[in-house]
Amino acid sequence: MKRKQITILILLIALLVLSNVFSGFINSFTQGLFTTYVYQTQNAEFEYTTLPDKGRGIEMMEGNFLSFKKDHPEYKEHKLFRTFKRNPLKFWNWYSYLTSEMYKYEYRNKVDSL
């Protein structure tokens, strides 16, 4: 009985590790090829959509946000929020949730911009 439990535990750990290694492929099937992620300020004065698969990532967004705050000094105290949640049931993304720069931003519900 003990050996069976150890085997099951090893298989579960292997599933978690391999699914996180191949999460890009899994996400292509579950979310589509080009997934977008929206970030915005609290009242949507600034909104940016990243498309990491096409090179439009966090670095570009942060540069644009700095330019926005430079051009609009009245918003210099604003900060960005991500408008997408982590889904703990998508265990193949757990490593990304813990290490990716895109999840370092605090979550807020998306505000519809005018």
Q: CA dihedral in degrees (55, 103, 93, 3; nearest 10)?
A: 140
Query: By CB neighbour count within 10 A (0-12 exposed, 13-18 middle, 19+ buried), where does 50 fall?
Result: buried
Q: What is the pLDDT of residues 14-42, one digit of tens each?
A: 999 999 999 888 888 888 888 899 999 99
Residue-range domain boundaries for the chain: 2-103
114 pLDDT tier (thresholds 50, 70, 90): low
CA neighbours within 13 Å on the CB side: how many for 14? 6
Q: What is the pLDDT of residues 30-80, one digit of tens each?
A: 888 888 999 999 988 999 999 987 888 899 999 999 999 999 999 989 999
